[in-house]
Amino acid sequence: MSDRLSGKVALVTGAARGQGRAHAVRLASEGADIIAIDIAGPLPSEVPYDSSGPDEFEQTLATVRDLGRKVVGHMVDIRDHAALKHAVDEGVAGLGRLDIVVANAGVCIPATWDAVTPEIYDVTMDINAKGTWNTVMASAPHLVTAGGGSIILISSYAGKKVQPFMVPYTASKHAVTGMARAFAAELGRHDIRVNSVHPGGVATPMGGPGIIAALESASVTAPALRTMGTTFLTQTYAEPEEIASVVAFLASDESKFMTSEHIGVDGGAHHF
């Protein structure tokens, strides 16, 4: 890897495993020190897959250290604005600055429209939308102090088109897409770029058996929707490292005149 992020500090939420770990490791391999955030504990009962745990979070931290980079880790729920702000402030105090933010943490709860409960809606919006807002609000002032930087919001294929059988998830990821535009407009005067990344299917625990079973159960109610999100390529899903490559580009000066962009990494699925 290059040293194109040498001297930079990056914040990554949802860093214990999956895409978050891939982002943290890739940015560290490019020279960045890392502030890693993850709940690393039980998720709400509505979420159909197991949460990450402290052991997985420690594995991420150890991998970053093995790359020769500094890392500060905090086990925090991004829904808790005060706790998240405290963790970010402590991380910046320890590492000296903040230049890059990757708001990655999120959840996905498939269900047909008429099976969505108020609890499912609230959990999805609170983590995916409010949690992303909390992350930007806790971190952006440090980028202003640094004289600029890059904020990368992880949205989804569902933030460009629609993910069938996921009304709250689709709503939350469209909210993230809108936040990228709105924050880009206001933070641009501080030389802070804000872009969103839109993965399709990714080989992570979120895309594991629990999600697949829930989608299969829901899809029998509307079989015609099953083909939505089909890729144009023979590759049908991404590895986390493929998403991290795009994140690293957006974090670097190679994209220094890009802001308010919404980059699909889904094999063309949002066009199908």
Say what the pLDDT of residue 206 is: 83
Backbone angles phi, psi at 42, to 5 degrees: -55, 135
Task: Find the DSSP H helices in 14-76.
Answer: 18-29, 54-66
Say what the pLDDT of residue 65 is: 98
Q: 0.75 cut: is pTM over it?
A: yes
Say what the pLDDT of residue 253 is: 97
Which stretches of the chain drop beneath a pLDDT of 70? 1
- The whole-angstrom separation of Cα 267 and Cα 1 is 24
Give the list of residues 6+ apart from residue 29 with CB closer than 8 angstroms, or none: 1, 67
Say what the pLDDT of residue 27 is: 98
Angle between helices 131-146 and 81-95 (to 10 degrees): 30
Say what the pLDDT of residue 1 is: 66
| Residues catalogued as catalytic | 169
Residue 191: exposure state from Cβ atoms within 10 A (0-12, 13-18, ≥19): middle
Which CATH architecture group holds 9-265? Answer: 3-Layer(aba) Sandwich (3.40)
Helix, strand, coil in percent for the chain, rounding step 5: 50, 15, 35
Q: How far is CA 87 from CA 15, 37, 42, 92, 138, in A?
A: 14, 8, 19, 9, 9
